[in-house]
Amino acid sequence: MSVSVRFRVWVEVGGVHLIGPGGYDILKAIDETGSISGAARRLGMSYRFVWNYIDKMEKTSGMKLVEAWKGGRGRGGAKLTPEGKMLLQYYEEIMREMNEVANKWSKYLDSKLVINKGINRRQE
């Protein structure tokens, strides 16, 4: 049985949640689909939920993260602003670095701990 180090990462501004896995997924889906409704469909969320989530992120950050435009059926769209793309990239970099640390510790602990019938023994 192997040992795994797990973690959850989110970014706060003044103690208020800005972005975590859900916000990352929303921004990434908007970037890939080119629309809020497309992102909502892809993620199995309502348009209203995604719109409100974006609004909360923008109010918390004080930055415009998504530019949306209306155009009638099939003509509307959305894209990330440069600040939205930057936030997405920063979160990806944080996750990359955290995964490296978690993998390092998982391997280390896996080599030092013997898990046998619920009893942990340290290897000398």
Residue indicated by tokens 């894209």: 79
Handedness of CA 18, 24, 28, 29 (dihedral sign): negative
Look up the pTM and report it. Answer: 0.84
pLDDT tens sequence across 2-29? 889 999 999 999 999 999 999 999 999 9
Spatial separation of the C-alpha atoms in residues 51 and 62, rounded to whole Å: 16
Q: Which domains does the chain have, with CATH numbers?
A: 11-122 (1.10.10.10)
Q: Is the pLDDT of residue 120 over 60?
A: no
